Structure 1
Amino acid sequence: MAFICATGKHRRPSRMKRTTAQAAGIAALTTTGVIGSLAAPALAAETTAEQTGLLPVLAVDNPVAQQIDSVAEEIDAQAEAQKEAAERKAAEEAARQKAAEAAKKAREARERAAREAERKRLNTFVAPIAHSYVSTGYRTGGSLWSSGSHTGIDFHAASGTPVHAVGYGTVVEAGWGGAYGNQVVIRMNDGTYTQYGHLSSIAVSVGQHVEAGRQIGLSGATGNVTGPHLHFEARTSPEYGSDIDPVAYLRLHGVSL
């Protein structure tokens, strides 16, 4: 009488089936290139697994372990290189931004210095004759003047004394001016006008820009005069009769007489 083994979930597969399955698994691992030399240790561990009920721990051959370590080291090296590259890039960007900021500050400082220098240039005033004094004051009365009073001030000066522009401006007249003799009229940067009369010679021409202290001629005794001196006027326009107090004008611009 033949015995038929009942099937069920508690029945263990035969040794042949287990061995066949393990061999198939090992073949699969070998085919995929993961671990080709694990078959023998797996078979050797079968008996132990059956006796203890524990899964066997497989030892990897040294060449495979070395290959795995090499790959891991290469991955770590690539990661470290990427990290260093990122850090270098960040440092370079920070240095670039710092340099750009420094360049911007330097440019702004130069621009401020240039603006300040230009402001100073346009607002610097000097006396028309250095180391002189006012010999005839503004609005002094007398028959010497057709209007009945002096429309400017006279600076004591011998013939040939250098005469300077009192501030920055543009020459609008340079030549003979009737009773004023040889004269120069300058339109100042603030829109006012200054006049320099009785010159013995003229050193500028119409349209020329002049700085404060620029020599524009030499004092003399041309025109309606009793002796050499410089006649200086401040005006609101280039026309006769628009005169303003020259002393107050110069003091307003920082020139003490």
Structure 2
Amino acid sequence: MAITRARGRHRRPSRLTRTSATAAGVAALTTAGVLGTLASPAGAAQPEPEGSALAGAIAVDEVGTSLAEKIAAQADAQESAADAAAAKRKAEAEAERRAQEAKRKARAERAAEERAARAAERRRLNAYVAPVSGSYVSTGYRTGGAIWSSGSHTGVDFHAASGTPVHAVGRGTVVSTGSGGAYGNEVVLKMHDGTYTQYGHLSSIGVSAGQSVTPGQQLGLSGATGNTTGPHLHFEARTGPDYGSDMDPVAYLRSHGVDL
């Protein structure tokens, strides 16, 4: 049975329908051209596809290629930016690490310097020195003679012209100053180790009772006050502050590291 379309007035195809038909025609034409070429004998003349269909296919291909290239370029740019950001973060982290390490090292060096300074100060405060710089013992300990009321020398004499600086042999506290009878002007110190030292025949005194002194600090100037035949320093080491508690001054100083 034949089917016939009703006669009458028909609507014009829509734009979408036209576009689809055109695309289908291009595809069919392209396919026909390709198939025709494959089916035709070698050397036979083949109809060329219409110019508009071929141009459309090329244009679509070019658009696709250009879009792919743009996407790839964008991906490369994003990857490069990510790499640059990661490198920057790594460099910043390394710089921060180095800065912290430099600060830590500086703190450690300062701490070491402070410890060394404190240690040096402790050594200085605990050190002992000769009572007269660059001098020597002119009269030894326990030397006998009528000049001494006890019959022997209770200390040692250091050669020193009048006005020569006299120093504390170590760290201590001034116990007494002033006239000491036969010792003339004297200074007596209680040392930090509990012993005592005495400095006699001074021409002047530069410290006062109760004052703390450090090794090498000037106590006064040598002279010839008291019972003496000439200027020098009479030095004693004692177990107590008073006369009669003397001990060998040279052995005392040497036991504290003083080379005489």
Asked if Structure 1 and Structure 2 have the same fold, meaning a TM-score greater than 0.5 normalized by the shorter chain, the answer is yes
Q: CA–CA distance in 2 between the matches of 1:86 and 1:133?
A: 72
Structure 1: gaps (5+ residues): 2-22, 24-39, 52-57
Q: CA–CA distance in 2 between the matches of 1:161 and 1:90?
A: 65
Q: CA–CA distance in 2 between the matches of 1:132 and 1:82?
A: 75
Residue 122 of structure 1 contacts residue 189 of structure 1 at CA under 8 Å; is this kept in 2?
A: no
Q: CA–CA distance in 2 between the matches of 1:120 and 1:71?
A: 72
Shift of 1:227: 4.3
Amino acid at match of 1:246: P
Q: 1:182 aligns with which of 162, 166, 185?
A: 185
**% identity of equivalent residues:** 65
Structure 2: gaps (5+ residues): 2-15, 17-22, 36-59
Across the aligned residues of Structure 1 and Structure 2, the Cα RMSD in angstroms comes to 3.5
2:197 matches 1:212: no
- 1:171–1:64 CA distance, 2 compared to 1 (3 A): same
How high is the TM-score relative to the length of structure 1?
Answer: 0.64
Larger Rg: 2
- 1:93–1:174 CA distance, 2 compared to 1 (3 A): same
Shift of 1:155: 2.5
Shift of 1:212: 3.4
Query: Match of 1:200, SS?
Result: strand
How high is the TM-score relative to the length of structure 2?
Answer: 0.64
Hey, what does 2:106 align to over in structure 1? 103
Matches within 5 A, 1:137-176: 137-141=140-144, 144-145=147-148, 147=150, 149-176=152-179
Q: String of CA shifts for 1:198-243, please: whole Å, max 9, x gaps.
A: 2121122234444433332122233344544322111233344432
> How many pairs were matched up?
210
Hey, what does 2:237 align to over in structure 1? 234
Q: 1:247 aligns with which of 228, 250, 255?
A: 250
Q: CA–CA distance in 2 between the matches of 1:227 and 1:188?
A: 28
Amino acid at match of 2:184: G
2:90 matches 1:87: yes
Q: CA–CA distance in 2 between the matches of 1:253 and 1:236?
A: 15
- 1:133–1:62 CA distance, 2 compared to 1 (3 A): closer
Amino acid at match of 2:258: V
